[in-house]
Every structure is written in C-alpha cells, then in structure tokens.
A and B are shown apart, each in its own frame.
Chain A
Amino acid sequence: MADRTSQRSVHRALILKELREISRDGRFRVAGAVVLALLLATLAFGAREQQSVKAERAAAQATADDHFRAQDEKNPHVAAHYGTYVFKPSGVLAFVNPGVDAFVGVSLKLEAHKRNPLEGAKARDGTALSRFSRLSVAQVIELLVPLLLIGIGFGVWTSERERGTLRQLASLGVAPRALLLGKLLGLLGAMALLLVPAGLLGTAIVALLVDLGGPGTLPRGLALVAGYAVYILAWVLLTLLVSAHASSSRAALVTLLGLWVVGGLVVPRLAADAAVAAARAPTSARVAANVRESLTRGLPGGPDREARVSELTEKLLERHGFLGAETLMDASLLSGLELQAEAAFENEVIDHHFAVLARALDRQDRFLQLFGALSPVVAVRSLSMALAGTDGAHHRHFSDSAERHRRELVELLNTEFAERGGALGFDYKAGRELWAKAPVLRYEQPTLGWVLGRQWPSVALLVGWLVLAGAGALRAVRRMRVV
C-alpha cells in the first residue's frame, strides 16, 4: 500500500468503480440526459438571444447616433436638450447569466440638465411569471446540477453500509482518505460526463463571439469556470459529508434535499429581501425628486441655486479673464458661460444624490454577499453575475460612464455656443459639422480586478464552503460506522 504505483491503482480502481456503478444506474442516465440537454439548450438559446440582443443594441445605438448627427440646424444648447440615447453593450458572458439585465434596463437618454435612469427593462412589460419563463445556464449549473448530484450521490456511503459492501471495503485496510478521494473523483467524473460537453460548447460559443467581446472576456470566462468548479466541488464534498454522516440513505436524501431547498431557494430570497431592508436605497423616482428639489434649493446645507450658479459663473469668468467685464461680452459668450456654470451646478447636485444612491446599493451588495456564509448558492450567484457583467454594479458602472459621456457632450455643445454664438445669442444655430464632432460612447467593461475587488467576500465564502465541506467529509469518513 505504501508504494506509489499501488496507491495510484487503488485510486484508479475506486474511480472506475464509482463511474461504472453510476453510469450503469438507469436513474443517472435519465436524469443526466435531461440536465445535459437543458445545459446545452440554455447555452445555445442563451448565446443566440445574446447575439440578437447585441445586434439590436448596436443597431439602436447606430440609429440614435445617426439621428443626432442628422438633426437640423439649431442652437447647440437646444440640441443638448434634444439629446440622444446610449445603449449598454452586453458583455460576451451575459449569455451565461443574464443577471439583472431584464429588470434594470439597458438604455438611457442623454440630455442637458438631467441624469436619466436606465430604462427599457423587459421585465416591466411582463407578468411576475415571466421571471421564471427563461432558464439560464447559470440557473442550471447553480440549482439543477447540485440536484442531480444529490440524486446520484446521496447513497454514496449509506448504500455501501446498507448493502453490506462497506464491511468488505473496510476490511481491506484502505486509508479513509483514499476512499474519500476515490468517491470524490468518481462523482466528479460522473459530473464531468455532463459538464465537459457543456463546457466545450460554452467555450466554442465564446470563441465564436469573442471578436465581439473586449479583451477582458478571457480572464472573466476563466474566473467564471473556476468559480463554478469550486461551487460544484463544494456540493460534491457536501454530499459525501452528509452521506458519510447519515444513519440511512433516506436520512441522507432528506438532509441533502433540505439543504438544497434552504440553500438554493430560501436563503437567496431571504438574502435579497434582507439586503434591501438593511440598506434602504432610494428609488429612481425618489432620486429624481431629490435632484429636482436640490436644483431649486441647492444642496442640503449649501448655498441656493442662484448663489451657487453665480459663484460658479464668476469662477468661469475669472478663468477666462472676463471678470468685471461682463457688459463688454457677447450675449452668446455670457449665456454660454452661464449655461456651463448651470451645468456644473447641476452636476454637483446629480453627483451628490447619485453618490448617496450608489453607497446604499453598494451596502446592499456587500450585505447580500455575506449571506453566502449561509448558502454557497448566494456566493456563486453573486460572483457569476458580476463576472458575466450583468449585476447591479456593472449597470451602475455603465450608467456612470454614460453620465461622463453626457457631460462631455453637453460641454461640447455649450462651449461651441459660448465661443461661436457671437451676438446672436440663442438665435445662433449650428449644423451637422458640430453634430459630427459629438463624442461616441466607447464603453468598456471594468477589469477582472475591479470585479474581484467587489466580489472578494463571495470568493472567500465559496472557498470557505469548499474547505469546510472537504474537512467535514474527511472527518465524517474517518468516523464512519462500518456495522
């Protein structure tokens, strides 16, 4: 037993036996085929849908850009009011986990004086039932794969005891660690029969779409695969732990199904509600109302609108060397500078209220992640959405980027008005030459480091689940009753 070759053949024998037993089990063949079919179907449909969404959004973006460039001659500030639309480009990995896309919206209107919320959320058009109508790859991996695992693995130790083979096994003098490793690899092997084809198809899909994705797709994809691998491994170990500990197969099955229901259905729901209750975030209507109020009265504790705008106007005049010479200036120049000062004031107000919102949402996010300590499903879901670029944080990241873009655009139009308007004032009109200068939003997803910086609690908890389940399984196998 001490020498390596025989240890290796012991491991091989254990793995082979588990694989044979599992694969000759009719239940596994049927359930496995169903889960595999679901995985492949969700991958294929998810990818197709994502491609069409990507095409739709690109087309919508192009149309919006064309509209803006093709508009009639008009005053640049009027054009800023007229505004344009931007669409959130969907990341390549969104097909794995559509996350909150359907609930948050994907486009927003850019216009002077206002920061608009994301709109066009699909779920608003549907009923509550439509939430469940589309099964995603993530849901299959997060819920159905563990369920299948429970189905094939609950009796992995108890049935050995019940059938009497455990006595035979225990009389051989095989180290419990080797037995556990054999069972572990056997179950993983069975899972691999399902997950490897799905993984290959997933990779092929990403490879086909990768030219449409940014350079961040590969590290994110690898991190996603690693995250799911840790998750599934943790479930395998948890199954082995419960089966080794349980007094009968029935008890093991009931315990595992209980864990699945609580961890997969109850805790995630509870976590979402608790997070919202623990860190109240204003609704977008509330934020808009707060912004409106501060726009007239000034920020809480600060000067009112008029005072602040004239302060900012003076600063601008000073910067341009016109301070005290307002009477000598062109109407347009003054109006333009005043518009810029107003925009700066508006931006201060918007920044203040959106920062309040972002802080609340970040608190919710972190709070939610802590529930990963109660269920690995919460941890992996949070991580997977983040890596797929479809969580709330990514929508805020896009919305922030769109806001910066809006300011650039408004500033460009207002500056043009100030510098070129001359004596015409609001009668000054600009044409397509100016519209063509409008910046194009080049949105790039944040890096993997950014994601992990926010998701480290989920990563840590997921690894914690793996380590705890592993240690628990080894302990349970060492202490397992033979007779």
Chain B
Amino acid sequence: MLVAESLRKEYGEVVALHGLELAVRAGEVFCLLGANGAGKTTTIQLFLGFIAPTSGKATIDGLDVAERPLETKSRIAYIPENVMLYPNLTGMENLRFFTTLAGRGELSDAELGEMLVRAGLARDAHPRRVGTYSKGMRQKVGIAMAMAKRAKALLLDEPTSGLDPKASNEFSGLLSRLRDDGVAILMATHDIFRSKEDGDRVGIMKHGQLVATHATADLSHADLERVYLEHMHD
C-alpha cells in the first residue's frame, strides 16, 4: 500500500534521506524508530507530498504521490506530532470541518460526538473552543479526524506524544482495530515499548538511512531495545 522506491531527499548539501526502500502492506503496522533528524518525518512528509523527492518515488496504492497529489491524499490520513486546530472553533466544529473536507459529507452532531468519545475526548470538551485544549486533547481530535476519514493508509508522526499512558493505550487499541480492517500504518515514534506492542515490523533509521528492519514477533522488548541502542552507537 505504502511503497518507497529509492526515495531520496536532499536539502542543499544535506542528504535527509538516502534512497529509502520501504513497503508497508495493507493490514500492517510499520514503526520507524530513530533519533531526531534520522529522516522519519522527512519520509512521512514525502508520502504526504508536502515536500518533493530529489529522486526516487513514493507511491500510495500504486499511485505516485508527486504525480497524483489529490488522489493519493484522499487514500491516507495523517496525525502529526502536534495536531494543530483552529483555536476559535470548538472541538466539534474542528472535527466537522476536517471530516467534511476529507469528503465524508456532513455528519450529525451525534456521529461526530461518538467519534470524539472513541478517540478519548470527554463529552464536556466537545463544545469548548480548541484554544482552551491541552496538547493531548488536540491530539485526540486529530485521532478522531484520522479515524473519520476511513483511509486506506495512516501516516503517523509521533501521534501519541503528549498523551497520558491510558490514552496512549487506548490509541494502541484503535490502531490494532484499524490494522484488522486492512489499513496500512506507517508510524514514526521514539517509543520502543509501543513499537513492539503495536508494530508488525520496526525499522531503525539513522542519518537518513533505514539501517535495520525486524519483525516484532521475533524480538522481545529487551532485544529490541538492545538492537536499537547498538545502532545508535557509531
């Protein structure tokens, strides 16, 4: 579903991504681990078409992101590290706006409220302006937005940052349900524990290269941590 072929991104002299080869199948959760600046966010932004590749290509459902930006985006949902919303609109209004734009038509208050609750946002927050929300609450609205889109693929850039452990755990539950529905999920994260829990495979990125890929079933938490730290040493 999500395929990177020799995907390369340069910023002037700096190479942010060296010819990445990656394929995430439908119904698979692939976690990208790595330090800041390893190229995780660059990879996700290339799939989103926010930046253009220097060479190689990213495809979604067989469509080249650079050539078919609108069709590829209609197949994905995206949750960034910091979900940013319109502060003068309520949580409900924000969700309605984004789901309508995502092509879901106009949903009722009850449907939207249900989505927010499933994402973990308490009902009393729905009619409040987002300007008053904490980061975690905004993140939950972002999760509801992504769920509502019913996308074929999810691109997650540290989606649980700022969520408390309980909310983070609930998010894992949502992810596994989506995986069971056949959604391809690419998630950049710092969280080794959650990668082992949620991911089918983990990839370790360093200096713009995917240096190792492992199936999580083959590794224990401790193994994964050890492998990760080994790669982090030069």
Q: Is B100 close to A, CB under 8 A? A: yes
| Chain A residues whose CB sits within 8 angstroms of the CB of B45 once the complex forms | 483
Nearest A-chain residue to B70, judged by Cβ: A173
Q: How distant is the Cα of A167 from the Cα of B79 in the complex, in angstroms?
A: 10
Give the contact stretch, choosing among A3-11, A83-91, A92-100, A441-449.
A3-11
Chain B, residues 60-74, CB within 8 Å of chain A (1/0): the string is 000000000111111
> Contact at A173–B50, with CB atoms within 8 Å?
no
Contact of A170 among B48, B71, B72, B85 (CB under 8 A): B48
Q: Sort chain A's interface into a size bin.
A: 20 to 34
Q: Contact between B103 and A20 (Cβ–Cβ < 8 Å)?
A: no
Neighbour of A17 across the interface among B89, B104, B105, B145, CB < 8 A: B89
Give A13 to B98 CA distance when docked, in angstroms: 9
Q: Is A172 an interface residue (CB 8 A)?
A: yes
Once the chains bind, are B84 and A172 in contact (CB under 8 Å)?
A: no
B102 contacts the other chain (CB 8 A)? yes
For the complex, count residues of B whose C-beta is within 8 A of A. 38
A177 to chain B, nearest CB (A): 11
* Interchain CB contact under 8 A, A21 and B102: no
Could you give, for residues 149-174 of chain A, a 1 whenever the CB lies within 8 Å of some chain B CB and a 0 otherwise? Answer: 00000000000000111011111111
- Output the residue of B86, B89, B149 with the most chain A CB within 10 A: B86
Please measure, in the bound complex, the distance between the C-alpha atom of A483 and the C-alpha atom of B81, giving whole angstroms: 14
Contact indicator B97/A173 (Cβ below 8 Å): no
B78 at the interface (CB under 8 A from A): yes
Please classify the interface of chain A as helix (H, G, I), strand (E, B), loop, or mixed, using the class held by over half of its residues.
helix
Contact between A9 and B48 (Cβ–Cβ < 8 Å)? no
B89, A20: Cβ atoms closer than 8 Å: yes
A72 at the interface (CB under 8 A from B): no
Q: How far is the CA of A375 from the CA of B185 in the complex (A)?
A: 52
Contact assessment for A168 and B74 in the assembled complex, using a CB-CB cutoff below 8 Å:
no
* CB within 8 Å for A164 and B80 given contacts A21-B88, A24-B88, A483-B50: yes
Give CA–CA (A165, B84) in the complex, Å: 5
Residues of A within 8 A of B89 (CB): 17, 20-21, 24
Query: Do A21 and B84 touch (CB < 8 A)?
Result: no
1/0 contact trace for B118-154 toward A, CB 8 Å?
0000000000000000000000001001000100000
CB of B163 closer than 8 Å to a CB of A: no
| B93 within 8 A of partner (CB) | yes
Is A482 on the interface with B (CB-CB < 8 A)? yes
Indicate if A467 sits at the interface (CB-CB under 8 A). no
Residue with the highest number of chain B CB atoms closer than 10 Å, among A1, A13, A20, A21: A13
Contacting residues, chain B, for A482 (C-beta < 8 A): 48, 50
Q: Is B50 in contact with A170, judged by CB distance below 8 angstroms?
A: yes
Whether the Cβ atoms of A1 and B103 lie closer than 8 Å is yes
Q: Which residue of B lies closest to A23 (CB)?
A: B88
Which residues of B line the A interface, CB within 8 A?
45, 48, 50-51, 69-78, 80, 82-89, 93, 96-98, 100-106, 142, 145, 149, 155
Q: Which residues from chain A sit less than 8 Å from chain B, CB to CB?
A: 1, 5-6, 9-10, 12-14, 16-17, 20-21, 24-25, 163-165, 167-175, 482-483
Further 19 A-B residue pairs, CB within 8 A, beyond A164-B80, A174-B101:
A1-B74, A6-B105, A9-B106, A10-B100, A12-B100, A13-B96, A13-B97, A13-B100, A13-B101, A17-B93, A20-B88, A21-B89, A168-B83, A170-B50, A171-B155, A172-B101, A172-B103, A173-B75, A483-B45
